[in-house]
Amino acid sequence: MQRPLISRTVLAVVLWVAVAGPYARPAWSAPKPSPKAVSDDKTYSDVAKEERWVAHLLDDEVERAGGAKQREALAKRLSKAALAWAGCGRLDQLSTPVALLHALRDCKYLPLLEDARDEASRDLATWLLAHREVRRVLLRAMEDVPSPKKALEAFRELQAAHPDKVVEYPDLAAAFATARPMRDVEPLVTPATMLESFQYYTDPKRKFRFSPRKLPFELSRYLADTRISIEERTWAAQRYARTRNLGPTYFDVKYDHGFYRDNTPKKISELPYTLQNLLKVGGVCIDQAYYACQVAKSLGVPSAIVTGKGISGMGHAWFTYFQMNPAATDASWSGGAGRYSSQLYFTGQVTDPATGEGILDSELVLLGSATLLPLRRREEAETAVLIAKLAAEACADANVPADPTPLKDLAADYEKRLAPQPGAAKLDVSWLRAKRAIDRSLVEDLVGVAIQRNLAYTPSWELIIELRKADRLPAQGLDRFFNVLISKTGMSFPELSCQMIMQLVPTIPDAAKRESTYKRALALYGMRPDLRGNILLALGGDYQKAGDDKKALQMYQVAALQCIQVPDIAIPAAEKAEEILLAQDQPKVLLKMYYTLFGSTRKEMGASDELRKRTPNYKFGLRLAELLRAAGKGDMADKIVGGL
């Protein structure tokens, strides 16, 4: 059963704006000439007119600097300028700090190339400086990866082989440079190289469901992570060229019941692991998800394998893909064919191509929708978080008075060096006035701005958690962010917002406030057994830490019984309750609890012994039998074990 994971109307609107709206960045256009030779009205049209001189100067500073030492010095100067801007109180006008953000990224990453020993790396640095738009996309994408050096090496390979294509497809090139190949179910027979895969998506003769020129790199990564052979992709693209609904492709791979029931080797294990052979002999859920996912990618549709657990406790795999109608009036991510409603797969996990780590499938959807916001909004969120971090560090010990001097120094440089040049922006310093101190309220407001610009930008929430743990954000200020989470994500993305709240609540120092917040979360998310269970476990842990074992036991038992459909909740909750009951020497209560738990589960019919041993029915039954034997009821224990 498929289910939309985001409001179709909202996503359609932001998608239309991103692809065709007035604020969309034409990522497929050729790079602009140097700003020195272009009118400021054309080059800096997205910057407030009175601040365009700052952006003009920053581009010049980036071009003049070179190497780690010079760029480190420039970065320090620009960080002070960012704080000076914040002190001017222009939090509603983020165009200038966005330009600062780009310049700081230049200072952070370009030295990796400029100071390299090989000439090819230094040449790439020069090339990037000459291609402003490509550079901005690439360096922005590199913020997501654990190894910027590897990303630059991959980009250098792309740029050396296809410089014109990189300029034409900057987001796609950035995606390939920053995406890890997906983990294949089995070793590929003839895997495609990164260059071959890039050529596949930039071949003008091929037709794709979405234009690789227009997809932002965050979505394009879910194309760039495949390495199946070009032959397999071509076969898949031809076979499914007229298939509009890609969900049923999951079921084109026949299920290998022999492997599930009898634990016999999969039929596909005797053949080369290709899409054609999977279609021929079938496989299990992971093979079905892999097949459907690769078919979608071959058609130019971002897609991912999703894994999760249902009421049986056994792992399962389905897939999700991005979809939009031809008129761009309706768009969504599919909830995933193979996500059987009877098994209650509440949450799924997807591998993030940039990091190789798992993220919630709902986070994928939220992040995917955010990539379709106007680029300016996304960059403004990133900028606000950056300045919030700088401000938090600056006022860690004491509040700091606002000081516009660093910006005035930039103005002096601009007046001396660039103002006389043709096409230069007019120098306007009328807005350079100190209006507010660098303090915690400023930090809080900056984070608020970031969330307002892009709700899905997770570093905003991570910063809130970090600041609370360090006691740099007043606990009373959390209500402001809780309200945003609940009102903006509570209904559409409950698992994600609940996860954030669960990380924030422990930072509240007052026990009564923590308890009331947990109960408020229960009222909001309690209809979802998995979320309800997580909240009850957290609340039980809070009671136990405070020494109230009675309330803790109650929460654990309620979690185990009410969330019996969620093995990852019920099993640990039962273990925690058992820990308390053993410490209190209450064997009868413990035995009764496991009787109830075991009676609330059912045996997984048709599964192999190995798979069945992972289920709650088996685990609860085995533990119940152990307790019965300890109570001298061996016959009853044998009967239970015999039925497992």
Residue 614 has pLDDT above 90, yes or no: no
Residue 23 has pLDDT above 50, yes or no: no
**116-130, 138-152, 556-570, 605-619: which has the minimum mean pLDDT?**
605-619
Higher local confidence (pLDDT), 36 or 639? 639
| pLDDT value at residue 261 | 76
Residue 369 has pLDDT above 50, yes or no: yes
Q: Tell me: the pLDDT tens digits for 298-324? A: 999 999 999 988 877 778 999 999 887
**pLDDT band per the 50, 70, 90 thresholds, residue 1:** very low
Is position 446 within any domain? Answer: no
Name the amino acid, one letter, at 243. Answer: T
| pLDDT value at residue 331 | 60
| pLDDT value at residue 306 | 93
Whole-number average pLDDT of the chain: 87
Is position 148 within any domain? Answer: yes
Domain boundaries, position 267: 8-31+131-371
Is position 528 within any domain? Answer: no
With beta carbons less than 8 A apart as the criterion, state whether 40 and 425 touch: yes
SS3 content of the chain, % helix, strand, coil (to 5): 60, 5, 35
When pLDDT is averaged across residues 559-588 and rounded to a whole number, the result is 93
Residue 527 has pLDDT above 80, yes or no: yes
When pLDDT is averaged across residues 75-89 and rounded to a whole number, the result is 95
Is position 194 within any domain? Answer: yes
Q: What radius of gyration, in Å, describes the C-alpha atoms of the chain?
A: 28
| pLDDT value at residue 327 | 62
| pLDDT value at residue 44 | 67
Residue 7 has pLDDT above 70, yes or no: no
When pLDDT is averaged across residues 619-633 and rounded to a whole number, the result is 94
Q: Which H, E and C letters describe 330-378, residue by residue?
A: CEEECCCCCCCHHHCCCCCEEECCCCCCEEEHHHHHHHHHHHCCCHHHH
Task: With CA atoms as reference, report the closest residue to 563 among 350, 364, 361, 347.
Answer: 347
| pLDDT value at residue 328 | 59
Q: Compute CA 610 distance to the chain's CA centroid, rounded to the nearest angstrom.
A: 34
| pLDDT value at residue 79 | 96
Is position 290 within any domain? Answer: yes
Residue 606 has pLDDT above 90, yes or no: no
Residue 584 has pLDDT above 60, yes or no: yes
Higher local confidence (pLDDT), 13 or 190? 190
| Alpha-carbon gap, residue 179 to 190, rounded angstroms | 20
Q: Tell me: the pLDDT tens digits for 373-412? A: 888 999 999 999 999 999 999 998 899 999 999 999 999 9
Domain count within the chain: 1
Task: With CA atoms as reference, report the closest residue to 315 among 56, 615, 573.
Answer: 615
Is position 222 within any domain? Answer: yes
| Alpha-carbon gap, residue 89 to 498, rounded angstroms | 33
With beta carbons less than 8 A apart as the criterion, state whether 336 and 318 touch: yes
- pLDDT above 70 as % of the chain: 90
**190-194, 328-332, 631-635: which has the minimum mean pLDDT?**
328-332
CB burial class (10 A; 0-12, 13-18, 19+) of residue 416?
A: exposed
Q: Tell me: the pLDDT tens digits for 141-160? A: 999 999 999 999 999 999 99
With beta carbons less than 8 A apart as the criterion, state whether 526 and 548 touch: no
**pLDDT band per the 50, 70, 90 thresholds, residue 2:** very low
Is position 281 within any domain? Answer: yes
Contacts (Cβ under 8 Å, ≥6 apart) of 591: 624, 627, 628, 631
Token digits of residue 592: 């009764």
| Alpha-carbon gap, residue 57 to 103, rounded angstroms | 10
Q: Tell me: the pLDDT tens digits for 223-281? A: 999 999 999 999 999 999 999 899 999 999 999 988 877 778 899 999 999 999 999 99
Residue 587 has pLDDT above 70, yes or no: yes
| Alpha-carbon gap, residue 514 to 526, rounded angstroms | 17
| pLDDT value at residue 482 | 78
Is position 363 within any domain? Answer: yes
| pLDDT value at residue 42 | 52
**pLDDT band per the 50, 70, 90 thresholds, residue 12:** very low
Q: Tell me: the pLDDT tens digits for 455-507? A: 888 899 889 989 988 888 877 778 788 777 777 766 777 887 888 888 889 98
- pLDDT above 90 as % of the chain: 63
Contacts (Cβ under 8 Å, ≥6 apart) of 52: 40, 44, 425, 426
| Alpha-carbon gap, residue 467 to 506, rounded angstroms | 13
| pLDDT value at residue 192 | 97
- What is the DSSP-derived secondary structure letter of residue 316? E
| pLDDT value at residue 36 | 43
With beta carbons less than 8 A apart as the criterion, state whether 177 and 124 touch: no
| pLDDT value at residue 197 | 98
With beta carbons less than 8 A apart as the criterion, state whether 295 and 642 touch: no
- What is the DSSP-derived secondary structure letter of residue 309? E
Q: Tell me: the pLDDT tens digits for 37-61? A: 334 445 666 777 888 999 999 999 9
Q: Compute CA 534 distance to the chain's CA centroid, rounded to the nearest angstrom.
A: 21
With beta carbons less than 8 A apart as the criterion, state whether 532 and 498 touch: no
| Alpha-carbon gap, residue 110 to 124, rounded angstroms | 9
List the end-to-end C-alpha distance of the chain, in Å, as a whole number.
30
